Structure 1
Amino acid sequence: MPTDTPQPPAPPQGPRTTPERRTTVAVLDRPEADTPWVTLVWNDPVNLMSYVTWVLQTHFGYPRPRAEALMMDVHTKGRAVVSTGTREKCEADTEAMHGFGLWATFQKDD
């Protein structure tokens, strides 16, 4: 019995091949992505200087003399730049400093 119903197309014949995977990366037009960012640790009336030194050594892996110099900047100048990099890195470092109980912020480098 003939039918006027359209039939689905027949599957392709021949060797099967794996489709080529192509990946694309979306690039956002963010000028701040090109700008270096910094993480600042601020002086506070709570944390001991030895503790701040220990945090800088522990989190950033700074040798003791470098950590002590940064701690002294925090103590005498009120703040110190403790890391630089992408916005995401500095944001993560700032959150880590908060986890240690330090006052910290991040901003674009001037």
Structure 2
Amino acid sequence: METPTLILPDLAEDVDATAEASGPWVVILYNDDYHTFDEVILQVQKATGCSLERAAEITLEAHTRGRAIAYTGEREECERVAAVLRAIRLQVETDLF
């Protein structure tokens, strides 16, 4: 007698599709005790294309609050921004907003 086989759907694909459609993504920059403020500010500018003033605000918020939203956008663009920030070993993550 043959045992019936249960085939489960691939839930990861459904979760990704739902997450993608749920809204904007963010790049979260965490406080950093290894880089200078200038290094972080310049890398935030490079990654996001924001002004020097905005990059300084993001950096100061990450320093004082422990983290800051460095960028908001589509998932792929957030992943690109995060990769640029990680290039100098800043700690970041991408997540749904």
Q: Give the TM-score band, short-chain normalised.
A: 0.7 to 0.9
* 1:66, distance to aligned residue in structure 2 (A): 0.7
Amino acid at match of 2:35: N
**Distance in 2, Cα, partners of 1:95 & 1:59:** 8
- Report percent identity of matched pairs: 28
Q: 1:39 aligns with which of 27, 43, 48?
A: 27
**TM-superposed deviation, 1:95:** 1.6
Structure 1 segments of 4+ aligned residues over 6 angstroms from their partners: none
Give 2:57's aligned amino acid: A
1:50 corresponds to = 38
The structural deviation recorded for 1:49 is 0.9
Higher relative contact order (CA 8 A, sep 6+): 2
Matches of 1:59 and 1:94, distance apart in 2: 8
- CA RMSD in angstroms comes to 1.6
1:100, CA displacement in angstroms?
A: 2.2
Structure 1 residues not aligned, in runs of 5+? 1-27
Aligned to 2:82: 94
Q: TM-score, normalised by structure 1?
A: 0.67
| More helix as a share of residues | 2
Secondary structure of 2:77 counterpart = helix
Question: How many residues get paired?
Answer: 82
Q: More deviation in 38-47 or 53-62?
A: 53-62
* C-alpha separation in 2, matches of 1:62 and 1:74: 16
Gaps of at least 5 residues in structure 2 are 1-12
Which has the higher Rg, Structure 1 or Structure 2? 1
